[in-house]
Structure 1
Amino acid sequence: MPVLTVGECRILYDLKRSEVATRARLTVTPERVEVVVPTSATDAEVEAMLHRRRGWLVEQTRQMVERTAKTNSVRRFVTGAKVPYRGRLMRLRVEPTDGTLVEVSYRNGFIIGCPHSASEASRDDLIESALRLWLRKRLRQDVVEMVRRHGEPNDLKPKRIEVKDQKHIWGSCGRDRVVNLNWHLIFSPKTVLEYAVVHELCHLRHRNHDKAFWHLVGSILPDWESRKAWLDSNEHFLNLRRVEPE
């Protein structure tokens, strides 16, 4: 993997050549730095472009490291561990059961019923999988209710709703009138999820973020700006990262 060296900073990046790209594109994510260039770009042109953008790349990489460090991490899914849910960190309580499946319920915190028969080595994986499935199902229930509450009265009716694991967007609305929502929104306050749902519903009528679009959003949620501000400022909270014990 090629490396860009700026002072003492070494940035590893993936270089991809694209037949459809008309100009260079740089993307910085927690996992990698991706550089996409037209197939016609020479090595010298790529190096010159990276040199021009070196300051931006260093700053973006630094910010990404800081954000990753702030994400919610869990080493073990045991009693006392905390996971994000609707804008707060909620405590887990793990209880042994005689069943064969991990059961998840919520009463002022998550109650996890874990089978006696589960091995110590597999217990964390089983609990994590069951918890993530429960969270996705709860998000879908919330979204369906919000679409009914806000979509139907405003004649904003999607063809269907999809809950997805989207890496870098909170939602989308295609021309096929399918509304997609990132399941990580279950970690945000319910009011913020409501904003994300209304945002995508309004795209059923207005494809762009023009004045008419924001006027429609505001007619449904007058305080949409504060909800959007929370989402913009708390991206690091909307994640659940498994960290292996050292």
Structure 2
Amino acid sequence: MPVFRIGETELDYSLRRSPTAKKASLTVTPQSFELLVPQDATESQIEAVLHRRRAWILETARHMKTRAKAQVRVYGFVTGAKIPYRGRMTKLTIEPFDGSLVEVSYRSGFLIRKPAHLTPDSADAVIESALRLWLKRRVRDDAREFVRRHGESQGPKPLGIQIKDQKHMWGSCGQDRQINLNWHLIFAPKPVLEYAVVHEMCHLRYRNHDPEFWQLVGSILPDWETRKAWLDQNEHMLGWEKLEPHNAS
């Protein structure tokens, strides 16, 4: 992968040409970025984009790296551990029982029942997997409810919803009228998830962020700016990083 140097910083980057792209766009991660350009973009045009956006690329990568360091860390899925859920840190309670599958429920906190025969090491991975699945189902159900509430009467209605594990975007809208949502939105307050759903629904009508797009968003959610601001300021809360305890040698 090529390396792009900005001062003392080196970032891996990839170049992707698209026959449907009308202009260049950038996707940045803490360690790399992708430049998407129209199929017929020349080398000089590509170099011009990189030069013009170099400061923005560097600032965005640094910002994302800082956010990543602030992410919630979980050492084990045990009673007393906390994870974010709908904008709040929420406690886990783990109970053994005679069943064969992990059961997850929520009532002012997560109650997770695990098969009694599981060893502590194996239980941790199984609980995390079951919890992820439960959370993905919640965000799917919430998103479907928001589509029922706002579709057609106020905004375009998608043909379907897909919940994905997207690394660096909260949602996207396909030409097939499917909207894709990042399952990590379940960690945000419900109104923020609603904003993300409405945002992608409005892209069914406007495939850009021109004033008409934001006018449509505002006609559905007058306080969309407050919801978007929460998402921008608290993205580090939207997920967890599983860490293994370090033992002194």
- TM-score norm. by structure 1 comes to 0.82
Distance apart, 1:185 and its partner CA: 0.5
Instruction: Report whether the alignment pairs 1:123 with 2:123.
Output: yes
Aligned residues: 240
* Alpha-carbon separation, structure 1, partners of 2:199 and 2:34: 30
Distance apart, 1:56 and its partner CA: 6.2
Q: Please tell me the residue identity of whatever aligns with 2:140.
A: R
1:178 corresponding residue in structure 2: 178
- 1:224-243 correspondence to structure 2 within 5 Å: 224-243=224-243
SS at match of 1:13: strand
1:13 corresponding residue in structure 2: 12
Distance apart, 1:172 and its partner CA: 1.2
2:199 corresponding residue in structure 1: 199
CA distance 1:144–1:116, change in 2 (3 Å): same
Contact 1:3 1:10 survives alignment (8 Å): no
Distance apart, 1:196 and its partner CA: 0.7
CA distance 1:55–1:221, change in 2 (3 Å): closer
Aligned-pair identity in percent equals 58
2:91 corresponding residue in structure 1: 91
Report which stretch shifted further, 115-124 or 82-91: 115-124
Distance apart, 1:57 and its partner CA: 6.3
CA distance 1:220–1:28, change in 2 (3 Å): closer
2:213 corresponding residue in structure 1: 213
* Alpha-carbon separation, structure 1, partners of 2:4 and 2:210: 39
SS at match of 1:96: strand
Report which stretch shifted further, 77-86 or 114-123: 114-123
Give the aligned CA root-mean-square deviation in angstroms: 3.3
Distance apart, 1:243 and its partner CA: 1.3
- 1:16-165 correspondence to structure 2 within 5 Å: 16=14, 28-30=28-30, 32-34=31-33, 59-154=59-154, 156-165=156-165
- TM-score norm. by structure 2 comes to 0.81
* Alpha-carbon separation, structure 2, partners of 1:4 and 1:208: 28
CA distance 1:98–1:68, change in 2 (3 Å): same
Contact 1:102 1:130 survives alignment (8 Å): yes
Q: Which structure 1 segments of 5+ residues have no match?
A: none
CA offsets 1:90-141 (integer angstroms, 9 cap, x no match): 0000001111111100010001101111122211100100000000000011
* Alpha-carbon separation, structure 2, partners of 1:221 and 1:54: 34
CA offsets 1:151-204 (integer angstroms, 9 cap, x no match): 142252211111111111111112211111111100100000111111111122
Distance apart, 1:233 and its partner CA: 1.4
Distance apart, 1:55 and its partner CA: 6.6
Distance apart, 1:210 and its partner CA: 1.9
